[in-house]
Structure 1
Amino acid sequence: MRALAIWTLLWAASTAVAGEQAQRTPPPLPILAIVEQQKQIRADDVARRGRYGQLPLATRAELLSKQVEILSLVEDKASTADLSRREQVEVFNRLEWIEATVNDAEEERMICRIERTLGSNRMVRTCRTVADERKDKERANRDLDRRPRQVGGQEI
């Protein structure tokens, strides 16, 4: 009985530590690195060098728009730790969009959201790829199509 209680306590402690590690945010990035990367991308885009030479005009305009949004969010900050959680997610999503667009890898782009855990007030950051989101949406639509349609107990 005593061994079971000790084992239960050890198991609970290990899962609590694992849960904390899963919820930890990545180490803060220096804003200077983000700004320098965006300046380099903009210079390559203006010169139409490398991958940027093939981008359609609408995509280039959206790329510049995302860069302006990123730079306005990180203005006067030293690292990503100085941003709020929501701002960190917004910057991450915009950087992922730019990377996916430049690398022509839209399906691999990560989308992060801050969501409330069901039955709690705790906020959790969840990240998934565009492909995962699309697959889940297709699965949900397929499951809805399989359900028998009824109104007032009568099949339609």
Structure 2
Amino acid sequence: MKQSVCRFVLFVSLCASALGAIAADNKVIEKPVVADTAEKFDAQAAEIRKEMSSGGRYEYIRPDERAKAETDLNSMAAMLQKSGSVAAMSKDERVQLFNTQEHVNGILTHSDSYRLVCERVAPTGSSIPVTKCRTVADIERNRLDTKKAMQDAMTIGSKCAGSNCRGN
């Protein structure tokens, strides 16, 4: 009896740790960029640029936000290349680097596909609001699919075939 309870507890703890590892990949990264040295930052910047491409974590970033993030990443790289590391920077340079880092982190956190957006809406036929949560990726996919469906309906629906046309 004791052995079966121990096995059950072990099984549950292993399952929980496995689920925790899976769920960890889908969490919003609070600080995507942490600049320390030029080498570490270059690796981080390359990873972020990869994630901003199609299929990446930040694929739904707006073009103007992407340009701002690129500018910030390039600015941070230049500051770190000049000094070598944060420790070698003057106080003013560190403040400027930190502010730029916070700006790019804000942009990336806002554009993270796994960020959860919740809203309280009343479903059709009810006046009782319900909390509905979706990820940024789900919202953007839905928006793009709806836009494509509307464009397809306008294109296909506007074609006139045979005797079904008005005015014929």
TM-score class, shorter-chain normalisation, is 0.3 to 0.5
Q: Per residue, is there more helix in 1 or in 2? A: 1
TM score, norm. by length of structure 1: 0.44
TM score, norm. by length of structure 2: 0.41
Structure scoring higher RCO (CA < 8 A, sep ≥ 6) equals 2
Structure number with greater Rg is 2
